[in-house]
Chain A
Amino acid sequence: MVTLNVNGRTFEVDATPDTPLLWALRDDLKLKGTRFGCGAGMCGACTVHIDGQATFSCQMTIGDAEGSEITTIEGLSADGTHVVQQAWITEQVPQCGYCQSGQIMRAAALLAHNPQPSRQEIVDEMSANLCRCGTYTRIIRAIERAAQEG
């Protein structure tokens, strides 16, 4: 039994401590917005916040996540109105959408730490996340918009 603090709530998860956080979120807590892309820390589809830091949830065990505040895409805002989510809609970023929870979580963490990132800082930070559909140009635009409007 591992206790996880996710999106401001406490959950008891009946799994071994070496279970990757990604699968506990998806299959035990049914928070499906966090996606499985590679399981290898190479794509960022599984990005969540651990104490405010963008983290690959496939690379962290629930044992290590215990005691931290975990935020998933479902907890970023109550109603989808986080400034990054709004900018994502205005710039019409998603195509297939599969990578986008991770992109949004990474962008939100970036802006929380660096409210006015330069273009180079945006590119450097977002390089951790792949988007096979090729929405990169719009991701940059949406982050710049969110920085302005945030």
Chain B
Amino acid sequence: MTMQTINATRRDFLKGSGALSFALLATGGVAVLPSAAEAQPLPDGKVNAWVTITPDNRVTIMFGSAEMGQGVSTSLPMIVAEELDADWSMVASQQVSTDPEGVYGNPMAGGILFAAGSSSIEGYFTYLRQAGAQARQILIQIAAAHWAVPAEEVTTRSGTLHHDPSGSSMTYGEVAALPEPAWPSGEMADATLKPRTDWTIIGTDVERLDIPAKTTGATEYSIDVDLPNMVHAALLLPPVEGEIPTLTSDTAARAIDGVVDVIVMDHAVAVLARNFPAALAGRDALDVSWTETSPYRHANSEDELIALSGAVDDMSADAVVWESRGDGQVDFTGANVFTGNYTTEHVYHAQMEPLNAVASVDADGMGAEIWLGTQSQTASIMIAAAVLGTTPDRIRFHAMQMGGAFGRRTVFAREQMRDALLLSRASGRPVKVVWTREDDVKNGWLRPATVHRLDAVLDAEGCPTALRHRVASPSIFQFAMPDRWNPETRLDLLVMEGAESSDYAFGTFQAEHVLVPRQSRLSAWRGIGWAPNCFARECFLDELAERTGSDPVSYRRRLLAGSPRALAVLDAAVEMSDFGNAPEGRAHGLAFAGYKKTLATGVAEVSYEDGQLRVHRFWTAIDPGIVIHPQAYRAQVEGGILFGLSSVLRERSTFSGGRIDQSNFYDYEPIRISEIPEMEVQFVDSGEPPSGGGEIGVPMTAPAIANAVRKLTGAAQRHLPFPGRA
């Protein structure tokens, strides 16, 4: 620890004004910024002022992960404020848009700005605690110097520094008002963290900072950005991926009042107009023909399902081993082998804000200002620089709040930003590209269809001595992140994660991926690989239990005996739901399904009323480690359960001739308020570090419902969505 001690006088104190800002350093340390005016500004004109305290005691904390509804604009600053010992009622937070110094990135995502896979809290937890504690230690040093007392005698309590022996105290705001020479210039590299028993912010349900603006309409998404001289763009996109347009006539389009320009791009024809309705009318009036050379014009989702089913059963098909435990050589052909095949169809994200982007390219064409809702600012900036053939420092980026994302706005999918940049460069004006809902549905990057085959060799008591989980599907990773795809190992975590079933002791175990060529564009969807993989496994285990005359709980308890955390969530869910004692005419179904280190068990209570599946109640017990904001976490779980239920009821994207068949919410309809169950979420506190909550609601839900339906009707449910329900 290296800190200068500077004596400050009362006179200096009175002279002081302005703000005290702390910078995060690439070394992991924290230092006082000399002053906002002197500090080196970032390309967007901001300085790296990670935490800023003003004389009115306000504390502003920057956060790296982008806000898309999961609550990181509150929960990440809570971690900082806890160790800083700030007065939470004075805290505001601000989104980080750019990170040229590489200090705001998610440590779990290689240090880039990236919010996906429930990784924000898990990734930032320790980093932000340390940084917050270091900033607090600097405040202590300043106060100690100011009072000319030993730093060890200075304490903090909720935004105030105290020297109890002398009875002195001052608020953080008063420290900020001290003149700058009183501020140390050294770097604080370590500090003691608070013990959990001293926490007053983490684990509490403070009001989310983003919510008031969301009740008045004031929240600004990228679709709301308005710039002087801006034009609105509607794009005529290829009916089939990869086709190239030929413009036959744009006379009618240009005749429409408000249409400013028609621009033919490699992959689309854009109509620029003074307002969006005029752009849409212009698009409708275009006369465009398309090449008919795309290999995807024969793509058909029904054929793909048949191909996947064939591949999963074809034991000579090349399979990539994802996980292998125990003795790999098992004969899965004997009489004591039980087999089950499970299918999940393509699903679409349906985030409520249609994809869009705003860009204003500089006069020299080599720089731009961009407004975008993205799950990765870092990746978006890199892509923008590549589109313009420039360097990232020329990109002035604004990370906007997202009207939902669910995997659709991760590193891969940035077509709207690319198009806004190209159109702005071509037209010399700021451009807003907005996809209609139809564009969004028809150009979806879908979660791929998967077919699973599970084989188990059972012992005399019906327990698996060996289990194999084969997944046939195209690779999301290969399509969506080709530059990071390893053609040697061909490991696709976006499809396969969760299939390792690491809490279960199955004796010999193997999970393997049969890669089948893609027929649609692909991306991860909330729950990622865990949702399809846990669906298949948890349905299969329930069927095995039934077949061997065991009940679903004790059957799983035996297999999970080596994982105390798994048993704890299983037992808690059984207890809270009074599992197995459903009211007359209803049944309970259960599933144990984790997401990475977060473990959970879900129980569904279902009935058929008038031939209709109805999920009445859903209970879940979850061990997510430490919970930062329980209320926001519950909201994530509830949202995840409804995603899972929606995928059971009817969510399905299909395509024929390379065209997605659905158009809008009338034929791709996410779950509505009339279809929701009562939900109860209980935490099981293992005291482990936090492990995320965005996905965990999804994987358990479909299998719990399927198992309940099987119990009620006797018919195994092995297909998502359930047949006859789309």
Residues on A facing B (Cβ under 8 Å): 15-16, 19-20, 23, 26-28, 30-40, 42-43, 45, 72-74, 80, 85, 88-89, 92-101, 104, 123-124, 126-127, 129-140
Contact = CB atoms under 8 A, between A and B. Distances in A.
Nearest to A80: B216
| A-B residue pairs, 8 tightest by C-beta | A33-B217, A98-B403, A96-B69, A97-B214, A95-B69, A134-B639, A134-B642, A73-B217
Nearest to B214: A97
Nearest to A82: B215
Contacts of A96: 68-69, 351-353, 401-405
Given A33-B217, A133-B639, A138-B635, A127 B674 contact: yes
Contacts of B287: none
Given A96-B69, A100-B214, A132-B404, A36 B673 contact: no
Given A74-B216, A139-B673, A23 B277 contact: yes
A140 B673 contact: yes
B670 A130 contact: yes
A19 B672 CA distance: 29
Interface string B629-668: 0011001101111110000000000000000000011100
B70 A37 contact: no
A142 to B, nearest CB: 10
Interface stretch (B204-212, B294-302, B597-605): B204-212
A124 B675 CA distance: 11
Contact of B639 (A19, A38, A95, A130): A95
B226 interface: yes
B635 A97 contact: no
Given A32-B217, A89-B207, A96-B403, A132 B352 contact: yes
Given A23-B276, A42-B666, 6 more contacts: A74-B216, A96-B351, A97-B210, A98-B352, A133-B69, A137-B676
B352 A131 contact: yes
A23 B275 contact: yes
Nearest to B669: A42
A99 B541 CA distance: 39
B437 to A, nearest CB: 4
Given A126-B673, A127-B674, A132 B277 contact: no
A92 B437 contact: no
A11 to B, nearest CB: 15
A99 B352 contact: yes
B232 A134 contact: no
Contacts of B705: none
Nearest to A23: B277
A128 B215 CA distance: 19
Nearest to A37: B352
A132 B351 contact: yes
B257 interface: yes
A137 B436 contact: no
B643 to A, nearest CB: 7
A94 B437 contact: no
A94 B69 contact: yes
Nearest to A85: B215
Contacts of B640: 134
A92 B635 contact: yes
Given A92-B631, A130-B670, A132-B406, A80 B275 contact: no
A20 B277 contact: yes
B664 A40 contact: yes
B43 interface: no
Scoring B216, B351, B434, B674 by chain A CB atoms within 10 A of each residue's CB, the highest score goes to: B216
Contact of B257 (A16, A28, A43): A16
6 contacts: A27-B232, A96-B351, A96-B402, A123-B673, A132-B406, A134-B639
B722 interface: no
A133 B676 CA distance: 13
B354 interface: yes
A54 B164 CA distance: 60
A73 B664 CA distance: 25
B437 A39 contact: yes
